[in-house]
Copies of this chain bind each other. A is one copy, B any other.
Amino acid sequence: MVRWEPDTRERLREAALDLYTAKGYADTTVAEIAASVGVTERTFFRHFADKREVLFNGSDVLQEQFVDGVASAPAGTAFEIVMHAVLSAVTFFPEERRPYSRRRQAMIVANPELMERELNKMAGLVAALGAALRERGVVEPEATLAAESAVTVFRLAFEEWVAPSSTRTLAEIEQSLFAALRSLAR
């Protein structure tokens, strides 16, 4: 389980988001981000490849959790396996992370360059989930369809979770979307 710890990495993340919000993403430098938490640029680059990656670095961990969730799911249909994977990844988004996630999402939606990276990460998530399902013996096109459906549910649930007035937990939103998807296709 991955926990949300306010270490140097997290402080850099927060500081970057503060600066992107205040000065604009394009006008913020790595030097400014590093200086604002009292570390060197070199330390920044030990944690992140560039100033775009500072917002996306967590996606690899999230992807791993999705893939692990497929591997550890009890025997079931492809749909049940991806449901298990998506729901087991909610530990990555505890309630105390919601304010950060809200600000991050607003930043991404407002910057085409960031949005493009976000869409690529989602496509990567679909590919990784599809591969993990095939690993478990799910054939095509079921593996890809289940992976696409899972990422759609995750994406829509996440959008609702970061919406200003939202109060339900991510797991609650995901469960209701999976249920709606099931009854839709019936």
Question: How long is the Cα–Cα vector from A156 to B112 in the complex, in angstroms?
Answer: 25
Chain A contact patch, size range:
20 to 34
Q: Which of B77, B79, B144, B152 contacts A149 (CB 8 A)?
A: B152
In angstroms, how far is the closest chain B Cβ from the Cβ of A110? 15
When distances are taken between beta carbons in the complex, the residues of chain B under 8 Å from A182 are 185-186
Verify A148–B141 contact, CB threshold 8 A: no
When distances are taken between beta carbons in the complex, the residues of chain B under 8 Å from A156 are 141, 144-145, 148
Verify B148–A184 contact, CB threshold 8 A: no
When distances are taken between beta carbons in the complex, the residues of chain B under 8 Å from A112 are 116
- Chain B, residue nearest A152 (CB): B148
Tell me the chain A residues, 136-180 only, with Cβ under 8 Å from chain B: 141-142, 144-146, 148-149, 152, 156, 176-177, 180
When distances are taken between beta carbons in the complex, the residues of chain B under 8 Å from A55 are none
Verify B152–A145 contact, CB threshold 8 A: yes
Verify A177–B145 contact, CB threshold 8 A: yes
> Does A26 count as interface, using CB distance less than 8 angstroms?
no
Verify B177–A181 contact, CB threshold 8 A: no
Verify B146–A184 contact, CB threshold 8 A: yes
Q: Which of B149, B152, B177, B180 contacts A184 (CB 8 A)?
A: B149
Which A residues have a C-beta under 8 Å from some C-beta of B?
77-79, 112, 116, 119, 141-142, 144-146, 148-149, 152, 156, 176-177, 180-182, 184-186
Which 3 A-B residue pairings sit nearest by Cβ, starting from the closest? A185-B185, A148-B152, A182-B185
The 7 sampled A-B contact pairs (Cβ below 8 Å) are A79-B185, A116-B119, A141-B177, A141-B180, A145-B152, A145-B156, A149-B152
